[in-house]
Each structure stands twice: as C-alpha cells, then as structure tokens.
Structure 1
Amino acid sequence: MYYLLSLLALTDLGLCVSTLPTTMGILWFNSHHIYFGACQIQMFCIHSFSFMESSVLLIMSFDRFVAICHPLRYSVIITGQRVVRAGLIVIFRGPVATIPIVLLLKAFPYCGSVVLSHSFCLHQEVIQLACTDTTFNNLCGLMVVVFTVMLDLVLIALSYGLILHTVAGLASQEDQHRAFQTCTVHLCAGLVFFVPMMGLSLVHHFGNHAPPAFHLLMANVYLFVPPMLNPIIYSVRTKEIRHAIIKFLGLKKASSESWG
C-alpha cells in the first residue's frame, strides 16, 4: 500500500510541477509567451504524468480486488517485488504513450492566432491551432487515450464490479461495511481524477460554443484538484497516516480516535 501511495504522490507532484514554469511566469513576470519546443516539453510532462496516474489507480484497484476477493492469498499475490515491477511499467508506460502524439505536432504549420486559452500546453488545444489537416494526429491521440485511460477505467470498473459481487455475498453486515470502507478511499481518488479528465475531454470535443472561462476552469480543475485532494483523502481515511500526522503535530493519541 505504501509503495502505491508513494507512486501516486510522485505522479501528483509531477503533474503540478509540470505546469509551474508557465503559470508562475505569467503570475510573477507577466510573461505570456512560450517557445514551441518548451510547449512540447511541458505537454509531454503533463500527459505523461496523467497517464501514469491513471495506471497507478488501476494497480490500486487490483490491490483492493485481491484484498477483498482473495484475502488469504493477498500476501502471496501482492508482493513488494511485484509492486515495484508494476511501478516501473507505470513509469515507462506514460512517456512511451505520449511521445508519438507530441512529436507529430512538430510537423504541422501554425498560422493566424496562436494563442492558448490556458497557462500551460495541452495536446487537445495545441492541435486546434494547426492550419492543416490534423485527422491522423487526432486519431492517433484518440487511440492513445483509448488504450491508456479508457482501458484503465474499464478495468477499474471491472475490478469494482467483482468486488461488489463478493461483498454482496458476505453474510455479516459488519463484514460488508468493513469491505466498503476498504474501497472508499480509492473510489474517491478515482472519481476525483477521472471525472475532471472526461469533463475536459468532452468540453474540447463538443464545447466549441462554451465560454473561454469554462474551458479554463475545466483545465485547472483537471490538473490541480486531484493532486490537492488526494493527500487529504488518504490522510483522513488511512489510519497509519492519520496517526503519523497527529504524532508529528504533537497531539494526543486520544484525539486521533475522534477522527472516526
């Protein structure tokens, strides 16, 4: 669990840091320009960390599936070595999936108004600034999303479908409640990440007539809300982290019990 939480924290941190150079440049130095190469690098980092976070949530859903559906075999199936291997796959999967769609953008000519509506570069917005046919690149980007985020989302839903089936077969309501509590944290983290991502995608594809402020709001929610809420979600609901925070703050152990 701690390996996975550490990996989730690193992806959240990377997602935030990827947007800082241009955002801070606008706020501190009133710099509203970015070179195309720098835009590509930022785009690569943002989408890579997004795909990595999706992969981490998938691994965490499998961890919950094994913990609830095969509790006696958990220590045999979920070993530290396997988690490390899965973590390495996650680290390489995001960049490998992002490289093609970012490199293909360099071949397009850009003319007219090349103004971004956000303080950072996103593939779905930059590609709209090209003054040529971008059908292939759009299809390539769609395939990457389907075989990364959408596939992860389907597998996560399948994992929780099997979990619900197992929980429904438990005779004791106390056991059912305990099983649901085990999944609550991960479900919250998944919703916080996937809902804004799908909302941003829908806005870019079908919200051409939506106000620019709405596009800006959705992009900021997608990039900043999950990294902000995930530490709060896991700190409040994970007993070990909660106790460590209380101990660090010098509060009495008794007060930790009042958290629930």
Structure 2
Amino acid sequence: MNQPDPTATVTMLEQFVELRVTGRPDVKNKYGSGHIRPSEVSFRYRAGGVRAQVYGRWVRAGGELTDAPCSQDYAAHEGDMTDWPEWLAADAKVHAPAPVLVSPPPDRAAADGDDTLRWLRRESLLVLLTRLQRGRTLTEDDAGMLRQHVETEMCEANVARADAQRLGLMVSEYGEGASQLGDKLREARAVLAEANEVMDLQKEFLGKLRQGVLSAMGHREDEDRADEGQDPCAVCGKDHMVQLLHAIEDADAAWAARFPATPDGPARPGRLPAQ
C-alpha cells in the first residue's frame, strides 16, 4: 500500500458557485441601453478576490422584457464590492465557501533553504513548549534542543533588528542628501535668474551703443570733419561721443541699482546682498 508523501501540499486555487435566482432586481446594462433581468449568477472565489457573472434576459429601456440573452461580469479585488449591486454583493458573501485548511501550511511548500530550516526549528520549538505547558519533564536532549532553538531565534532577532537599524540610517542619509541637493538646486536657480537679469541689462546697454555707433559711422560717410569726435555731427547736429558716454552712465546706474556693492567688492551674480 502506497503511503502518502508527508511533504506533499494541496492549495485551493479557485472555488466556483453557480446559482439560479428569481425575483432579483434588474441590473443596469453596463455595455448598452436597458437592463438585465437575472436568472442565473455564478461566483468564482480566489485568494485575491471574487468574480461574478450575472446572466439573464435583456430588458429594453422602456421596460419591455425580451428573449435576448444578456450577461455581464463584476470583479472585486480584496473583497471590495462597492460598485456591485447590493443584492449581488450580499449573495457573494452568503455563498462564499469556508476557508480550506491544508496541512502542512502553504508557506512550507514555498519555503526553501533557510526558510525551511527556520520553519522546522519553530515547529520543533512549539512541540517542546507544548510538552512543558502540559507538565511533562523534558529529557536532557530535549532541554538542550530547546536551549539551542531559543538561542538561534534570539540571534536571528538581533540580526534582523540590526539590519532594520542600518536600513533606517541609510534612509535618513538618503533623505538628508536629497534635502541638500534640493538646496543646491534652489541656489542654482537663483544664480540663473540673476544671470538672466545681468544679460538683460547688458543687452540694453549694447543696444544703445550699437545705435550710437551706427549713427556716427553713417553720418561720417556724408561729411569730413577736421576735429573728428569733438564737434557736433554736421548731419544731425548731435555729439555722438556724448551720446555714448550717456549710455554708459545709464548702464552703470542700472547695474548699481540692481546689483549694489557688497563688503567684498562689486556685486556680481551669485554674490547679491541678502534681500
């Protein structure tokens, strides 16, 4: 006679329940117009949730019952049936099968290596503790095994606690580094904004210089001046050198207003005084 394998496991993956129903309220057709008048309902129960299918006849929007078959599906992950019809959710809970207990537990089938040894050790520890609870005297070998199991569990607990503390320190360091990086990024953005303002001032100044230089060069082609650069322009009557000096003075004033001097010297982008 073949003996059952003690290491074999059985895990229930799915349980199916099919019902014939009458008198249940119509459900709205999710995929078109009208409703569905239920006549059959099926439920598929799995570890992660339950699925349902309602089967019946299609009811027109005006309330006329037809012979056309119609069905639609519902899914509830982790038992969330908030979008189900109330009667369907109630039926699903009433007809849910009882949990199936298997031995050995499913985690033993999935365990390997250290996990298997840990499971066996704890099973042995439970047996020894049960003997003590029932008043039985442990043999010298049992007492030594109990002590060994307890010391091993304490050692693993200490290692796990140290790993958790180390992980917490790593998270704190990463968080601090991210905060510092955010500060540097904000500083860089501030310097970039200041640099853009400097560029705007320089563009305005260069524009004035360009305008004055072009005017002077264009007018000089139309006249011959004995003392060039000192007498007013014979074409427009303006002194272009004075115009350039005024443009430089305006640019210096705009710079000083936006970038006032600091104790360390003239201001520049990235070294502005505190606002």
TM-score range, shorter-chain basis? under 0.3
More strand by share: 2
Structure possessing the higher radius of gyration over alpha carbons:
2
- State TM-score, norm by structure 1: 0.22
